[in-house]
Amino acid sequence: MAIKGKAYIAGAFEHPTRKAENKSVAALHAECAKGALEDAGLSFGDVDGYFCAGDAPGGVLSMVDYLGLNVRHLDGTDIGGSSYIAHVSHAAEAIAAGKCNVALITMAGRPRSEGRSGLKQKIVGANVPDTPFELPFGPTAVNEYAMATMRHMHEFGTTSEQLAWVKVAASHHAQHNPNAMLRDVVTVEDVLASPMIADPLHRLDCCVVSDGGGALVVVSPEIAKSLKRPLVRVMGSGEAPKGQAAGKTDLTYSGAIWSGPAAFAEAGLTPQDIKYASIYDSFTITVLMQLEDLGFCKKGEGGKFVADGNLISGVGKLPINTDGGGLNNNHPASRGGIVKVIEAVRQLRGEAHPNVQVKNCDIALAHGTGGGLSSRHGSATLILERV
């Protein structure tokens, strides 16, 4: 059963905070849930399906209890920062199967207030099969993405200047977002002059560490049509894990090579149909590699594709992350997937900032890479259409 046309995104909310010193993670989840339901014109009592991931304190059970929900469908799928993109797809599946009609997805966190960053070694539980063979070597978010960058440069001649253009585009968009954590426009030279964190990634190749969160409400077609909001229809989705293939790993591509084509096939669309794309930007390399893997350009040509402002709204061919993305706006709980969907919804509704709104934006894509690019990650692709 395909999910094409079986569900709509009726509510979307991004928490405005970027530093939440006086609020718990659970409280942030609740505020996001309230915001998204109000955006949709629904209430907590209407929710009959609930979705959350690893950022949700206590997991699905604690959150459902905390939020006072009365639901008949639960999903705690966790594939890192791309979880929420997969949740939209899972919610559409559940709605299509008659398991729920109003699905609430929440995420929130406060890594900034808690002093966490992508430089710290990962915290992992006992009995995880891979960690004895990885943790001693100090994998962090930054050096994992850096290793994939280094190999990409080696095989395809990708340069630091090309990667910097991803950040330049993000900063051009973020200047128009009053909630963005970083709003100064930067140049390629600024990125290259920023301190090296893990070769070859500079500080400005890395996303922000921010508090915050977001929520989405996915509903059945009947309910969507009864509400007052613009209709944003789910057209197709794909998800794929990528690991190390038991020692045969290839770090030049991501799981998007599988999740992308699956989503396009289900939607009956191609990359040429996409007017706006939210592309996960934990690091500049993440964007460059995913654009190749999703088919926006050939493998190895991502460097050329992202250069010279091609990702800037109103300037280039493929406007991405018009909220400023994880690089400038927000990477709540170090998991940016939900914000990716939220900005895609804004674009499709025509509710993005006027200076970055894509004209006649009828088809959009949101894609995420959750986890470590060199060790294990989960890719999720979602294609949406304004009806």
The residues of the shown chain that bind other proteins, judged by CB under 8 A, are 119, 121, 126-127, 129-140, 142-144, 146-151, 154, 195-201, 244, 246-249, 251, 374-375
Nearer to other proteins, 119 or 193 (CB): 119
Least separation in angstroms between CB 161 and other proteins: 19
C-beta of residue 114 within 8 angstroms of C-beta of residue 57? no
Least separation in angstroms between CB 88 and other proteins: 31
Nearer to other proteins, 140 or 175 (CB): 140
Least separation in angstroms between CB 2 and other proteins: 31
Q: 165-168: long-range contacts at Cβ-Cβ below 8 A with a sequence spacing of 24 or more?
A: 165/306, 165/307, 165/308, 165/309, 165/310, 165/311, 166/281, 166/284, 166/287, 166/288, 166/306, 166/311, 166/327, 167/191, 167/204, 167/205, 167/284, 167/327, 167/328, 168/309, 168/312
Q: Could you give the CA distance from residue 168 to residue 160 in angstroms, rounded to a whole number? A: 12
| Alpha-carbon 202 to chain mean position | 21
Nearer to other proteins, 38 or 199 (CB): 199
Nearer to other proteins, 149 or 334 (CB): 149
| Structural element, H or E, at residue 21 | none
Least separation in angstroms between CB 131 and other proteins: 7
Looking at the chain, list the stretches that DSSP marks H as alpha helix, in order from N- to C-terminal side: 25-40, 59-67, 83-96, 141-156, 160-174, 188-193, 221-226, 256-267, 284-293, 302-306, 337-349
Nearer to other proteins, 118 or 319 (CB): 118
Least separation in angstroms between CB 86 and other proteins: 24
Nearer to other proteins, 36 or 240 (CB): 240
